[in-house]
Amino acid sequence: MPKNNNIQITDTYSDFEREKLKIPFGFKGGYLSELWQTGVRLTSAKGNRSIGLGTQSVLYGDPDIFSSWSEAGSNALMYALTERALQLVESMSFDTPVGLMEELVPDLRREARRITGKQDVNENFVLNALVGLDNAAWLLYAAETGRNTFEKMIPAAYKPALSHHNDQIGVMFQVSYGMSLEDIREAVNRGYFIIKIKTGQPGTQREMLQKDKDRLSEIHDLLNDRSTVQTEDGRILYTLDANGRYKKRETLEELINHAEKIGAWDHILFIEEPLSDDNEQKVSGLGIPIAADDSLHCEEDVRKRIEQGYEVIVLKGIAKTLSLSLKMARLAHKEGIPCVCSDLTVNPILVDWHKLLAAHLPPFPGLDMGIMETNGDMNYQNWSQMKSYHPSGDASWTEVTEGTFELGDDFYEESAGIFYPSSHYEKLLSVT
């Protein structure tokens, strides 16, 4: 793709808000109590301005940093990295946001090591810090080039992977370590049919495995006799997400054998990122598709995981930037590998950024719809208020119906409202 570098950034600004969670939210062997919502404002030489949002999750980005600092302290480190990114891009020019991120990330890696004092900072920490900037760059790019819808905004090189209009998106309902069985039952009563079970619980590998077996058993006992109209065979589906906590394939095999023993095996749609980032064992032949997620930081990682037998690619445009997700989706599409979109407990506007990505991906095999996770509504204390910040927060596509988002022509015509201004975030970022 030729680089014209015709979009010049002349001014930047950022701020953040702290949003409390209802209860501590557990994954990756740790617990979050709040998430910082960052806003980034960019101004171009032509006078166009844009606002992009991000949700910081240091526990997702680098669990070691999260555990080594106070929760607020680790968030401050990530926000400092966002601020440094804005200093670097001021007076930079770019052709597309993809190129801007490619140019920026190497410098930010070095900055992350300096800011945190950690020489092996996880790449996800860097990418998470860039989401607000990346989204602002996309909106600035759209304004500068007259590409005023999501579809028009996507460069031609990535369109084949994002050429679909799904009528529905199946929502993965996230079950954290501490969620009660009553809450899970109520979710199925409301129509959710893809239950995403957080595995990889705290403790040693043996302790983790036993807790995960027990958790799967109690959830399957609860849901085994339930049915749904959303799947061909009527089964409620499970996905398991260990966030890289399993050290060896053999431990994962024990969990899969347990699933088969209790009759849960054929309910499992896929297992998400079970092995640690540095584990290079092949995962083919396990009988259940394995999805790559946290370990994907670039196209080469996607290619490597496919060679290792991973059969699903998880995109996190709201955690690793839309720019990177487009490149990953393109490679997965070329290789015939299906993609799904996984959440980061993001705010309502970011949910719709991600929904647009999920909506344009090919339907997931066997379901005839896209798949995404969203869990902010059940985790934030002030979700209703946060939803009021969304300029299209009352639109029908923002509500889950029988476990799906129903997407009509208005969703696509209005690009889920992401191009509309949010008075709340304009005020936060002092746009007058």
Instruction: Residue 306: name the closest of 327, 274, 328 by CA.
Output: 328
Q: What is the dihedral of CA 163, 168, 174, 179, to 10 degrees?
A: 170
At residue 97's C-alpha, the angle toward residues 133 and 12, to 5°, is 35
Instruction: Residue 136: name the closest of 77, 90, 78, 76 by CA.
Output: 90
User: Please, what are the domains in the chain?
Assistant: 7-153 (3.30.390.10), 156-419 (3.20.20.120)
Token readout for 31 is 């617990």
What residues are paired with 7 via a beta bridge? 94
pLDDT digits (tens, 9 = 90+) for 281-313: 999 999 999 999 989 999 999 999 999 999 999
Under 8 Å between Cβ of 95 and 132: no
Task: List own/partner pairs for 299-308 with CB under 8 A and 24 or more apart.
Answer: 299/327, 299/328, 299/331, 302/328, 302/331, 302/332, 303/331, 306/332, 306/335, 306/337, 308/280, 308/281, 308/282, 308/283, 308/284
pLDDT digits (tens, 9 = 90+) for 86-133: 999 998 999 999 999 999 999 999 999 999 999 999 999 999 999 999
Q: Identify the pLDDT of residue 432.
A: 57
Q: Identify the pLDDT of residue 1.
A: 38
What is the band of 29 on the pLDDT scale with cuts at 50, 70, 90? Answer: confident
Instruction: Residue 403: name the closest of 380, 376, 373 by CA.
Output: 373
What is the band of 401 on the pLDDT scale with cuts at 50, 70, 90? Answer: very high
156 C-beta neighbours (distance < 10 Å), count: 7
Q: How far apart are CA 374 and CA 397, in angstroms?
A: 13
pTM: 0.94
Token readout for 83 is 């601020």
CA distances from 210 to 87, 141, 201, 405 (A): 48, 50, 9, 35
Helices then strands, counting H and E runs in the chain, come out as 18, 14
In the predicted model, is pLDDT for residue 226 greater than 50? yes
Q: How far apart are CA 286 and CA 66, in angstroms?
A: 32
pLDDT, mean of residues 159-172: 97
